[in-house]
A and B are shown apart, each in its own frame.
Chain A
Amino acid sequence: MDLDTVKERAGPREFGPGDDMPEEYRKAATRMIQFHANSEIMGAYLEKPFIRQSPSLDRKLAFSAKTQDEIGHGQLLYRAAESLGVKTREQMLDELAAGEGKFLNCFHYPMTEWQETPMIAFFVDGAAMRRQATLKRTSWEPYAHAMDKICFEEGFHIKHGEDIMRELATGSKRGQELLQEAFEEWWPRILQFFGPTDDDSTHHDFSADVGLKRMGNDELRQAFLNAYIPKAEKYGLEIPEKPRIVEEDGTYEVIEEDLDWEEFFTVAKNEYPSGREQINGRKEAQEAVAWVRKSLDDWEHAGTAGASTQRAAD
């Protein structure tokens, strides 16, 4: 299929492994889905310590379920990316370990305190969910199918995250103060989730032209702020003065120059110190369980693993 045909046909769930897609499409889709998959995995590693650090059994169970979900989302997405025929899952996991795989800005920062958990589990998952809902209509069918399952599950993550925030916001004075502190620390990063405003780039955005992306960053950021600023206020959180957010006719505009874009791009290049630590931490875990993958591979290649090796008569 040539690129013009792709652009013409680029409707929701339009293309799949059975279609002969041009290299530009397959590469752009791989880049996008691999980034998404990496982010699920790195997010899970950030939250994993809270299975242990949860203050109650309920929270502990929920955090273990959520972390398991996120790893599952990563696996689903690596499958969707693999189906483009550009990279294997193993390659993508190795790239992540080598510090070459890119992932969401928010997962490059350390999270150590319980009061910080709603910043990820409510705000970041919420921002991700806003984007993911639009990706149910992406043109790469396996990606859209992964979104069906992910969006089904995410409702629990966000409600759980909000419930932690509710508990803290209605609890002790000290708890409220710590929540506000966490919010002030994370808020600029959350605002940067959708990247710099893309006024100039939207019209020449390849992934939008071929239907991989359905909504620009500006629109997504706007929808996110409309829903989540009132939530923050509802729980008594004070929106920091900087970065300035201008409200006009019920929409919010972030003053970009108030955000630290140098830090953002350092993070994006995997060069931020805490991000490097996160990457290396996961790399060690990947190495520690190499024997599991190896024994599965050996078993598969020995040809004894259950599946009938006899081909059906063709």
Chain B
Amino acid sequence: MIWEVFRQEQAGEYHTHCGNVHAPDREMALTFAQIQHGRRKPTHSLWVVPQPEVSEVDDEAATFGGTTDKSYRWVMPYNRVDPEFAEEIAESEAEQRDADEQRSEG
């Protein structure tokens, strides 16, 4: 069976997908995951998930973010007010601008 592997670099971070292993059972999948994915890159924790248990939807089947203009739910159009007055608002603004840029590059 194929097992998908998710690695968390440090406590508190997100487990992100990093590959898969071929193993006959859960215990060996955990061992193989350590050998293949936990040795060089910093690793705090690994998850293994049986591949058939993972369901997928991709951008061919779905239009992520919808088909209509939803700019009103972003910070960008509200450009007559200044987010810099509070650190946490400026940070949220920066994160949204980043995400929007990455989306339009894709």
Interface residues of A (CB under 8 A from B): 12-14, 16, 18, 58, 61-62, 65-66, 69, 126, 129-130, 132-133, 141, 144-145, 151-156, 158-160, 162-163, 166, 227-228, 230-231, 306-308, 312-314
Contacts and interface: CB of A to CB of B under 8 A. Distances in A.
B86 A227 contact: yes
A313 B72 contact: no
Interface residues of B, number: 33
Given A155-B75, A166-B80, A13 B95 contact: no
A130 B90 CA distance: 12
B88 A159 contact: no
Interface in B82-102: 83, 85-89, 91-93, 95-96, 99
Contacts of B14: 145
A152 B26 contact: no
Interface string B13-31: 1100000000011100000
A58 B80 contact: no
Nearest to B23: A313
Given A14-B11, A65-B72, A158 B89 contact: yes
Contact of A166 (B12, B81, B93): B81
Nearest to B78: A159
Contacts of A314: 25-26
B75 A133 contact: no
B73 interface: yes
Nearest to A160: B78
B7 to A, nearest CB: 15
Contacts of B75: 155-156, 159
B103 interface: no
13 contacts: A58-B72, A61-B72, A62-B72, A66-B73, A69-B73, A141-B12, A155-B92, A155-B96, A159-B83, A159-B93, A308-B52, A313-B24, A313-B25
B50 interface: yes
B89 to A, nearest CB: 5
B24 A13 contact: no
Contacts of B93: 155, 159
A231 B52 CA distance: 54
Contacts of A159: 75, 78, 81, 83, 89, 93
Given A130-B86, A133-B88, 10 more contacts: A14-B11, A16-B11, A132-B88, A155-B83, A156-B78, A159-B83, A159-B93, A312-B26, A312-B52, A313-B26
B35 interface: no
B10 to A, nearest CB: 9
Contacts of A163: 78, 80-81
Nearest to B94: A155
B92 A151 contact: yes
B25 A151 contact: no
Given A61-B72, A65-B73, A145-B14, A231 B78 contact: no
A94 to B, nearest CB: 31
A62 B73 contact: yes
B81 A162 contact: yes
Q: Which 10 A-B pairs have the closest CB atoms?
A: A13-B12, A155-B92, A312-B50, A133-B88, A159-B78, A65-B73, A162-B81, A227-B86, A155-B75, A61-B72
Contacts of A307: 53
A65 B96 contact: no
